[in-house]
Amino acid sequence: MKNMKKLLSVATLSLTFSANELTAQYAGIAGYVAPARPGIPAAIAPPQNFANSTEHYEYLRELHNGGVIHTHNSIPKWDGLWGRAGNSYNTGRESTIFRNEDGNIVEGMLTPEYEAAFRYRLRQSGLDSSDNGVTVDRLTHCEPAGHPRWSLEPYIREMVNEPHQSWFMNDLGNDTRRIYINQEHQNLEGNHFPQGDSVGFWTEDDQLIVHTVDVWPMDFFRGSPPTSNQFESVEIFWRGTLENGEDRLFLSSTFYDTHMLAKPVSLMYVFERREDLEEFGYRTRYFECSGNQNQYITFDENGNPTTQTRLPGEEGFNDPRGVDPLRTPDLPRDLPGQEKNPIFNDSLF
Amino acid sequence: MKFNRLLSLIAILLSSSFVSNSYAHHSFAMFDKTQELFMSGTVTRWGFNAPHVFLFLETEDGTVWTFEGRAPQSLLMSQENPMTGYTLEPGQSVEVVICPLADGRPGGALGYIHANDIWYRPGHGGCPADSRWEDEWSAAGYASRAEAEAAM
């Protein structure tokens, strides 16, 4: 009991310290709010300048009297397949909110340390000098996209809302966001996670407001500045229509990161219903990656990181369709019926 | 002719914008995007597996080439000429436009696959192949982009 009290007081102290640090960081600082573009509404600006994501979320929760309690029948339904239909992270053909079309870093968005780190990444990955694209990507080793990259990846999503949880699934990398409705944050593991820990509530007008903390250091996409392990967000999801009546899911996200961002950043992501794919028979499958992966990160002759690919017959080549002797080393090598993909007779070896 | 050039330019611009957020989870540094090679051969495998599809193609000299394309999900999602695991079969003769591996090994990134009288575009940012391959360049029998541009 004594130990538990001690543990709680240490935890409280550490939370207080952390909150004070955050307050000093963003108090009174106006954030960046992405403007509207054709087909992409402006991001929703925070109603005031919050010191951190928790203040922002708690303000909204109080504003909405704690949120609506839904039943299975009353919960908004966002069934079906959803494809990406625009975002305000990309500001042009080759530019983002962090990097201009001419390749220069946008001033005032990043902290000095993370701006320097972004410059380092651009140099290391060849983006400052080459038009051949980025040379490395965190996902090469089959990591999930995670938060916030989940929102930008151009893959299919499925959004399932239940009264106590929402499950937002991305076809890339088995990457599911779980939003715990009308609940408090939990972190029994004492870890951070690719998607962090998300809680949320529903408003009277069917918006889902989500607070996310405890996220791994990630990115917005390959070649973006890194996010840190202090990255947090307040997100507002809702289903609506464009001016032309087309059905859309909208997501307005405000990001806080005391290491990375010089000010909070609010962006809009838009998703469109893909009924054509539903009619075509498209299914979301388990995303095979590590067992099939033949790309790997290595270093070039100058010691810079780069990416390479293994071909059949080379050491370490993963064959996604044949019988992998390392997958079931406890079985006879010639046991019939062990090929993972038996429809075609296309064994390479 | 001018109209065709305009279409090519639009296609290049579109494919360039695709590069920024394309359906891949790794860099394209290993491919030489400045080269585009036209090849023909026999399919030994159309591997429609995540995270990327792979076409294994045996050419006349007996070499088996390994070509990478986009994620299978994105080929199913294509609004123009979607591809499935059944689009190509072992033993089928096809033509391809590819960007080779920069280190000279027999592999590369897919730009086009010409099969079943259709020009499929299974490529990612590793090979934004020129749209003129669909008509004038393939009809003229050019073996590479360099050869086609030299003849213009």
> So what's the pLDDT on residue B27?
85
Contact of A117 with chain B, judged by CB distance below 8 Å, is answered with no
The H-or-E segment that residue B139 falls in is helix B136-140
- Asked whether the predicted pLDDT for residue A43 surpasses 90, the reply is yes
The residue-averaged pLDDT of B43-67 equals 96
The residue-averaged pLDDT of A4-11 equals 44
Asked if A83 and A156 count as a contact pair (C-beta separation under 8 A), the reply is yes
d(CA A40, CA A88): 7
Question: Of A4-18, A78-92, A127-141, A321-335, which one has max mean pLDDT?
Answer: A78-92
> So what's the pLDDT on residue A51?
94
- Asked whether the predicted pLDDT for residue A13 surpasses 60, the reply is no
- Give B89-130 pLDDT, tens digit per residue: 999 999 999 999 999 999 999 999 999 999 999 998 899 999
- Asked whether the predicted pLDDT for residue B3 surpasses 70, the reply is no
Instruction: Look at A5-19, A77-91, A222-236, B20-34 and tell me which has the smallest mean pLDDT.
Output: A5-19
Rg (CA), chain B: 14
Q: How many CB atoms lie within 10 A of CB A77?
A: 11
- Asked whether the predicted pLDDT for residue A5 surpasses 80, the reply is no
> So what's the pLDDT on residue A24?
59
8 Å CB contact of B49 and A341 = yes
The residue-averaged pLDDT of B123-149 equals 95
- Asked whether the predicted pLDDT for residue B20 surpasses 80, the reply is no
> So what's the pLDDT on residue B24?
67
Q: Which residues, other chains included, contact A25 with Cβ-Cβ below 8 Å and sequence gap of 6+?
A: A51, A52, A258
d(CA B124, CA B28): 9
Confidence class for position A132, pLDDT limits 50, 70, 90:
low
Contact of B90 with chain A, judged by CB distance below 8 Å, is answered with yes
Residue A191 C-alpha, separation from nearest chain B C-alpha, in angstroms = 25
8 Å CB contact of A155 and B28 = no
Instruction: Look at A13-17, A232-236, A330-334 and tell me which has the smallest mean pLDDT.
Output: A13-17
Contact of B105 with chain A, judged by CB distance below 8 Å, is answered with yes
d(CA A233, CA A215): 10
> So what's the pLDDT on residue A341?
84
> Which member of B21, B27, B29 has the closest CB to residue A152?
B21
Asked if B137 and B97 count as a contact pair (C-beta separation under 8 A), the reply is no
d(CA B125, CA B20): 8
- Asked whether the predicted pLDDT for residue A17 surpasses 70, the reply is no
Q: Which residue has the tokens 């579109």?
A: B14
Confidence class for position B148, pLDDT limits 50, 70, 90:
very high
State phi, psi for A61 to the nearest 5 degrees: -65, -40
State phi, psi for B2 to the nearest 5 degrees: -60, -40
Residues of B in Cβ contact (< 8 Å) with A320 = 47, 49
- Asked whether the predicted pLDDT for residue A21 surpasses 90, the reply is no
DSSP assignments along A54-112, one per residue? HHHHHHHHHHTTT-B---TTTSPP--SEEEEEEESSB-SSS-BTTB-TTSPBPTTSB-H
Cis preceding linkage at B128, omega within 30:
no
Q: Least CA distance to B56: which residue of chain A? A: A348
- Of residues A271, A286, A287, the one with CA closest to residue A81: A271
DSSP A38: T
Tell me if residue A249 falls in helix, strand or coil: strand
d(CA A22, CA B134): 57
B-facing residues of A in 328-347 (CB < 8 A) are 341, 343-346
Confidence class for position A1, pLDDT limits 50, 70, 90:
very low
Strands B107-115 and B64-68: parallel
Tell me if residue A179 falls in helix, strand or coil: strand
> So what's the pLDDT on residue B21?
57
Residue B101 C-alpha, separation from nearest chain A C-alpha, in angstroms = 9
> How many degrees, rounded to 5, is the angle at CA A94 between CA A91 and CA A98?
55
d(CA B31, CA B11): 20
- Give A289-336 pLDDT, tens digit per residue: 888 889 999 998 888 889 999 999 999 898 888 887 778 889 998 899
- Asked whether the predicted pLDDT for residue A15 surpasses 50, the reply is no
Question: Quick one: tokens of A176?
Answer: 């599911």
> So what's the pLDDT on residue A130?
56
The residue-averaged pLDDT of A59-87 equals 97
Residue A262 C-alpha, separation from nearest chain B C-alpha, in angstroms = 25
Asked if A226 and A117 count as a contact pair (C-beta separation under 8 A), the reply is yes
- Give A142-179 pLDDT, tens digit per residue: 999 999 999 999 999 999 999 999 999 999 999 999 99
Best probe of the A interface among B14, B22, B25, by most A CBs < 10 A, is B25
> Which member of A309, A321, A344 has the closest CB to residue B30?
A309
Q: Which residue has the tokens 């749209």?
A: B131
- What's the predicted TM-score (pTM) here? 0.87
The residue-averaged pLDDT of A47-74 equals 97
d(CA A26, CA B65): 55
